């Protein structure tokens, strides 16, 4: 039997796509739909009970204490997004721009900035957890340089614990936006820049009028990644202040809240699989809608620019 060329071609494509498709279906789509399914039932411990429709979702949004915990966690995710956008991505932009200007030692800096990105997130969390202890490296350094009055319990004070963890994450991750921005700036056609310089544009003008508008696609990618990352924060909290978002829920995120609720922890009690699954679905929807919305808006802006 001789297969038609078209059929043969599509069979080949299927052959190569299938393994990936199976993995995505099995490990991403199926769990997603299962958690949606599970979230629509009441659960008696590990046994699925009766159908409750959107009852579990109502409890997250309207019933104490789930409501307080959920919105507290969501606020912290918001802090993650804002601080990461403002500090990490602006730093990344500055680093990327400086590296693209070929400052002395740029090769060294480019590699150094990127090294922490390669570290395991758990190892980074664990080590910085040690550095940020009251008698850890950070406070010892402050003492050494005569700034002892600024010593703090970095991970123990409600007002600064989240920001301490975000700072560690920025330390780990700032190399990534730097590199993306560097690549984007390097891709700008040289004649654009040369023309600007010939017209007598100052460095700041070149940056704001030429470079910035031309790297908007990179800005979009980084913003969407930051958004997704900020909504899915988990490991950093888990390794540095624990599943309970201690102290007093000040570092809780929807990721840790989801885990604690769905699987239970030693102290948080028995698993609430229905409510946990509902939180999982909400996290998914938030991430999806926020990213899609942002991409749609920035597409339109890109065209305008």
Partner 1 sequence: MSRRSNGIVALLLLVSAVSLFAGGSKEKSETPTPGASAPAAPKAAPAPSAAPVVIQFWTWRPEDVAVYNKLIGIFQQQNPGIQVVQTAHKNTEYNTILSAALSGKSGPDVFQSRAYGGLESFAQSGYMEPLENWVPELKDFSEAARRGATSIKDGKIYGVPFASQTLFVYYNKKMYQKLGLSVPSTWDKFLANLEAMKKAGIQPLANGAKDGWTLEVMMGALAPNFYGANEFFNKVIKGETNFLDPKFVQAIDKLRDLIPYMPPMYMGVSYTDMQAAFINEQAGHFIGGSFEAGYFSSQNPDLQYDFFPGPSAKEGEPNYVSTYADGNFSMNAASTKKAEAAKLLRFFASKTTGEAFIKELKQVSQVPGIDPTANPFIAKVLSVQKHSTPYIFLVGFRYQQPTGSSLAQAALQGMFAGKLTAAEVCKQIQEGIATYYKPFQK
Residues that bind partner 1 in the complex, under the rule CB under 8 A: 8, 12, 15, 44-47, 63-65, 69, 132-135, 139, 151-158, 241-242, 244, 246-249, 261, 263-264, 266-272, 275
Q: Output 97 or 154, the one with its CB closest to partner 1.
A: 154
In the bound complex, what is the minimum distance in angstroms from residue 252's beta carbon to partner 1?
Answer: 9
For residue 274, the tally of other CB atoms under 10 A from its CB is: 24
In the bound complex, what is the minimum distance in angstroms from residue 135's beta carbon to partner 1?
Answer: 8
Q: Alpha carbon of 216 to those of 83, 87, 180, 264: distances in Å?
A: 20, 18, 12, 43
In the bound complex, what is the minimum distance in angstroms from residue 28's beta carbon to partner 1?
Answer: 20
Nearest residue to 161 (alpha-carbon basis) of 49, 71, 248, 251: 251
Asked if the bond preceding 65 is cis, omega within 30° of 0, the reply is: yes
Q: Output 5 or 102, the one with its CB closest to partner 1.
A: 5
Q: Output 58 or 110, the one with its CB closest to partner 1.
A: 58
In the bound complex, what is the minimum distance in angstroms from residue 226's beta carbon to partner 1?
Answer: 28
In the bound complex, what is the minimum distance in angstroms from residue 149's beta carbon to partner 1?
Answer: 12
Q: What is the DSSP letter of 136?
A: S
Q: Output 10 or 44, the one with its CB closest to partner 1.
A: 44
Q: Alpha carbon of 277 to those of 148, 232, 248, 250, 280: distances in Å?
A: 46, 15, 24, 23, 5
Q: Alpha carbon of 239 to those of 46, 93, 119, 156, 214: distances in Å?
A: 27, 29, 14, 14, 39
Q: Output 226 or 239, the one with its CB closest to partner 1.
A: 239
Q: Output 217 or 269, the one with its CB closest to partner 1.
A: 269
In the bound complex, what is the minimum distance in angstroms from residue 109's beta carbon to partner 1?
Answer: 33
Q: Spell out the residues 6+ positions from residue 110 whose beta carbon is closer than 8 angstroms to its own.
A: 99, 178, 179, 182
């Amino acid at each position: 039997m001789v297969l038609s060329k078209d059929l043969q071609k599509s069979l080949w494509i299927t052959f190569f796509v299938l393994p990936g498709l199976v993995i995505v279906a099995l490990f991403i789509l199926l769990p997603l739909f299962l958690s949606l399914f599970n979230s629509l039932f009441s659960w008696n411990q590990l046994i699925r009970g009766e159908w409750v429709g959107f009852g579990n979702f109502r409890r997250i949004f309207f019933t104490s204490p789930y409501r307080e915990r959920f919105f507290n966690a969501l606020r912290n995710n918001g802090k993650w997004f804002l601080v990461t956008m403002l500090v990490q991505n602006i730093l990344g932009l500055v680093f990327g721009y400086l590296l693209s200007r070929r400052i002395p030692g740029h090769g060294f800096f480019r590699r150094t900035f990127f090294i922490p990105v390669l570290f395991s997130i758990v190892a980074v969390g664990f080590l910085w957890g040690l550095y940020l202890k009251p008698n850890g490296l950070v406070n010892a350094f402050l003492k050494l340089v005569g700034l002892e009055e600024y010593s703090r319990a970095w991970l123990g004070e409600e007002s600064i614990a989240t920001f301490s963890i975000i700072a560690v994450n920025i330390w780990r991750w700032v190399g990534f936006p730097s590199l993306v921005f560097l690549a984007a700036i390097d891709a700008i056609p040289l004649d654009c820049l040369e023309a600007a310089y010939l017209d007598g544009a100052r460095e700041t003008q070149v940056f704001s009028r030429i470079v910035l508008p031309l790297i908007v696609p990179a800005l979009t990618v980084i913003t969407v990644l930051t958004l997704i990352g900020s909504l899915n924060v988990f490991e950093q909290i888990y390794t540095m202040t624990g599943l309970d978002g201690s102290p007093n829920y000040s570092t809780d995120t929807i990721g840790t809240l989801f885990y604690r609720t769905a699987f239970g922890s030693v102290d948080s009690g028995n698993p609430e699989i229905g409510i946990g699954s509902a939180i999982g679905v909400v996290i998914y929807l938030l991430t999806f809608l926020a990213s899609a919305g942002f991409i749609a808006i920035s597409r339109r802006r890109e065209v305008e620019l």
